[in-house]
């Protein structure tokens, strides 16, 4: 069984990928945009790790950690992108 941290990491990657497919630069997306992406992903298949973490294991703590990790990733990506 995966830990919450592992499921959250999968969810972060899934949200970024989904946003890219939708034509949205994930670096410029907010954590609310990422959460909306997770909602959309979860509508497609209830056996996905994203669904298990986002819907079944949802908690304020996990959401707070997801937002913090999303914002930290986006900040690092923006810094890297604009320092070239």
Q: For residue range 44-83, list pLDDT tens digits in order.
A: 999 999 999 999 988 999 999 999 999 999 999 998 877 7
Which pLDDT score is estimated for 57?
A: 87
Which pLDDT score is estimated for 43?
A: 95
11 falls within a domain: yes
77 falls within a domain: no
78 falls within a domain: no
d(CA 82, CA 56): 38
Which pLDDT score is estimated for 31?
A: 94
Domain of residue 8: give its range: 4-69
Q: How confident is the model at residue 84 (pLDDT cuts 50, 70, 90)?
A: low
Overall number of domains in the chain: 1
pTM of the model: 0.91
Q: Which residues contact 78 (CB under 8 A, 6 or more apart)?
A: 27
- Measured between its terminal Cα atoms, the distance across the chain in Å is 40
79 falls within a domain: no
48 falls within a domain: yes
9 falls within a domain: yes
């Amino acid at each position: 069984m995966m830990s919450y941290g592992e499921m959250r990491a999968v969810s972060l990657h899934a949200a970024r990928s989904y946003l890219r497919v939708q034509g949205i630069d994930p670096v410029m997306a907010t954590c609310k945009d990422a959460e909306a992406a997770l909602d959309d992903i979860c509508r497609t298949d209830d056996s996905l790790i994203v669904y298990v973490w986002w819907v079944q294991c949802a908690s304020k703590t996990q959401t707070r950690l997801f937002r913090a990790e999303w914002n930290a990733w986006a900040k690092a990506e923006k810094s890297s992108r604009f320092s070239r």
